[in-house]
Amino acid sequence: MTINSNELSAAVHELKREIRKGRWFKNLLYAFVIGYLILLILISAGVIDEIDPGERIATIKLHGEIGSDTINSADNLAPAIRKAAEDKRVKHIVLQLNSPGGTPAQAERLWQTIRTVKKENPEKKIYATIDELCASACYYIASATDEIHATEVSLVGSIGVRMGGFGFVEAMKEHGIEQRELTAGEYKALLDPFSPRNEEAETFLKEHVLTTTHDIFIDRVKEGRGENLSTTTELFNGLIWVGQEAKGLGLIDGHMSTHEIAETLDIDNVVDYTPKVDLFEQYANQFAASLATVLKGQAAPQLEM
């Protein structure tokens, strides 16, 4: 078989063209992979959502203990609530709650944030949905919303305040341990676990700190829930109720889930606005705070809901 120079030249040219096509395809494939990875990063960071013009329901999760050194602090969640309210695409907000409670200060700050956001954005309703549990400080926060929903077997309420600790006086005597502490102020070492109980100091704490905080808690719930609340005297004594009973008491409004609320509002797009946090850093900070408390030898009295 004889191949002339023209045929050979054409074959070489075709081969070069195929090679160039292959390189072009490889470059396109590389660009696609890199673009896809960038897209994933932007989605995880919440940046890519900015290009979505559709109306939506914003959800914000509050799961776990509420406190200044947890992911459920006011410093972390309040900006997220305000951001969702200021977003023109957000028609309504749902707080997804599942918490045993926490500190009154953080609950009060979040309660005030929700009430302010409602006044500034009256056209946007703020809902609360409860999974297994919404007790104490969690319910304090929920009471600020327009509507509260839970399952019929969710645990709701526990409207009360507590302060506690441990006493090691007898154990110290048994082991011959002596405490040496100097204070200026008769009650500076309130609830010191290494000192005998002081009934006068405990009475002061109960009458002024616990009762005052409890009264504020009750006022916030009454202001938020209004005429929905039952007049039963058991409502504010720290008892917790299942969702079915809670509805009859006016603690909740119904039993809808987040997606059922979205269906009722005829909005399909539900977008998570929960702030992203570095969990390793979060747990490291909590561990450091706990370790510092242990090394100091005693913990300061902690007011809890």
Q: What is the pLDDT of residues 40-51, one digit of tens each?
A: 565 555 555 556
- The verdict on 98 and 128 lying in the same domain is yes
Interval 225-229 mean pLDDT: 91
**Which residues of 136-257 form beta strands (DSSP E)?**
147-150, 155-157, 162-164, 240-242
Of 53-57, 199-203, 269-273, 274-278, the range with the highest mean pLDDT is 269-273
Residues 158-180 pLDDT 10s: 999 987 766 666 676 677 777 76
The CA distance from 25 to 19, in Å, is 10
Task: Please give the structure tokens belonging to residue 228.
Answer: 């929905």
The reported pLDDT for the residue numbered 159 is 94
Are 232 and 197 found together in one domain? yes
Of 85, 136, 141, nearest in space to 110 by CA: 141
25 with 64, same domain: the answer is no
pLDDT of residue 246: 96
Residues 19 and 166 in one domain: no
- Over residues 21-27, mean pLDDT: 59
The range of the structural domain enclosing residue 13 comes to: 1-50
Check whether residue 17 and residue 84 sit in a common domain: no
Q: Are residues 38 and 102 in the same domain?
A: no
Could you tell me if 140 and 289 lie in one domain? Answer: yes
126 and 93 Cβ atoms separated by less than 8 Å = yes
pLDDT above 60 (res 201): yes
Q: What is the pTM of this model?
A: 0.77
Query: Do residues 103 and 74 make contact, with C-beta atoms less than 8 angstroms apart?
Result: no
* Whether residues 44 and 83 fall in one domain: no
- How many structural domains compose the chain? 2
* Together in a domain, 79 and 34: no
Structure tokens at 272: 């998570």
Task: Determine what percent of the chain falls in helix, strand and coil, rounding each to the nearest 5.
Answer: 50, 15, 35
Residues 45 and 56 in one domain: no
Q: How does strand 90-99 pair with strand 126-135?
A: parallel
The pLDDT of residue 298 = 46
User: Is 80 exceeded by the pLDDT of residue 35?
Assistant: no
Q: What pLDDT, on the 0 to 100 scale, is given for residue 202?
A: 78
Judgement on whether residues 67 and 3 belong to the same structural domain of the protein: no
CA distance 165 to 197: 11
Same domain (yes/no): 199, 229: yes
Q: How many Å apart are CA 75 and CA 299, to the nearest integer?
A: 24
* 129-167 b/e (C-beta count within 10 Å ≥ 16 → b): bbbebbbbbbbbbbbbbebbbbbeebbbbbbbbebeeee
The CATH number that applies at residue 174 is 3.90.226.10
